[in-house]
Amino acid sequence: MVHHNKYMQRALQLARLGMGSVSPNPMVGAVIVHNDTIIGEGYHQHYGGPHAEVNAVDNAINSFDNAAQMLSQSTIYVTLEPCAHYGKTPPCANLIIAHQIPNVVVGCRDPFDEVNGKGIEKLIAAGINVTVGVLENECLDLNKRFFTRIQKHRPYIILKWAQTEDGFFAPDDARQFWITGPESRKLVHQWRGEEDAILVGKNTAMIDNPQLNVRYGNGKCPKRIVIDRRLELPRHLHLFDQSVETFVFNEVKTEFDGNIKYISLEDFNYYVPQYILYQLYLQDIQSVIIEGGANTLAHFIKDGLWDEARIFTGPVTLKQGLQAPVIQGETISEDRIGDDVLRIIKPYAV
């Protein structure tokens, strides 16, 4: 089991390299071991591309002249159950069987209906020794976004805001006010590159005119989402620059204008967060960071539609202003980022 953990840990490291590039697919890593030596590695690199198992097998074949014999005496470690269906690529379970790899170690099962145990069953039926559940919690956490979308029919929701030491979100005179330092802002931009989309309310868009991009970080720019009930936002804002796909949820019209997609909701008086998240689910958006404003964050908190909250507290005070959202949950971590304190909270387990 110690060796199993070591190689699965490596597979997890590889899988994380796909962060921000494979959605709505899961991140997956694979490691092939022969006589306690890694002979092949791979990970799912981009949506629609070869899966981790394919890349690991190809890596072994391209590295060793006698790869076929070595594979027939090896163990492949995969963070997620090998697929058993034809999608954009052939089934990875078939690949493992074809190369006569005798041992498969799986981190966790895949809840997707087309897989969900079928890959494991196919391997066992072919006479392959299958071990399931090695570093299972770590493998489940790796793909929490994918699992949330599959099981809850909505994206994984990350709430993010900054508050002052005395608990305020912003001044009450609608002016822009920086609470956090440059280190925190750079970290937030790095986070944006890891998620599919970023959401703000109308007031945040109007006051801050945010670009909602990753100019201080790495990775792709997320899709943008804004809630503008009566379409009151002026078109000169950065949100409408056509640089990335942008969803505008409103009650006026459903219409596409280049990269700007206006989506009218059924009822703006009730269940607005639910309607928005279901529409995003239909758009294959797997994760969303909600960055404000306070009223928008409060709606998602009230309806229990969040999976993680990342709260910065900056070393400044306002004495009066807009109160920061109030949230209840389990503190997962608390770290210092420059002069700021970052606390990460998750909902209490049900």
Q: Which residues are catalytic?
A: 53
Instruction: Judge whether 139 is annotated as a binding position.
Output: no
Instruction: Judge whether 110 is annotated as a binding position.
Output: no
**What letter represents residue 228's amino acid?**
D
Instruction: Judge whether 331 is annotated as a binding position.
Output: no
Tokens 């700021």 found at = 340
How far is 229 from 201, CA to CA, in rounded Å?
A: 10
Instruction: Judge whether 178 is annotated as a binding position.
Output: yes
Instruction: Judge whether 189 is annotated as a binding position.
Output: no
Label each residue of the chain as H, E or C.
CHHHHHHHHHHHHHHHHHCCCCCCCCCCEEEEEECCEEEEEEECCCCCCCCHHHHHHHHHHHHCCCHHHHHCCCEEEEEECCCCCCCCCCCHHHHHHHCCCCEEEEEECCCCCCCCCHHHHHHHHCCCEEEECCCHHHHHHHCHHHHHHHHHCCCEEEEEEEECCCCEEECCCCCCCCCCCHHHHHHHHHHHCCCCEEEEEHHHHHHHCCCCCCCCCCCCCCEEEEECCCCCCCCCCHHHCCCCCEEEEECCCCEEECCEEEEECCCCCCCHHHHHHHHHHHCCCCEEEECCCHHHHHHHHHCCCCCEEEEEECCCCCCCCEECCCCCCEEEEEEEECCEEEEEEECCCC
Count of CB atoms situated within 10 Å of the CB of 151: 10
Instruction: Judge whether 204 is annotated as a binding position.
Output: yes
Exposure of 163 by Cβ count < 10 A (0-12 exposed, 13-18 middle, 19+ buried)?
Answer: buried
Instruction: Judge whether 92 is annotated as a binding position.
Output: yes
Instruction: Judge whether 192 is annotated as a binding position.
Output: yes
- Binding residues, as ranges, are 51, 83, 92, 162, 178, 192, 204, 208, 212, 215, 291
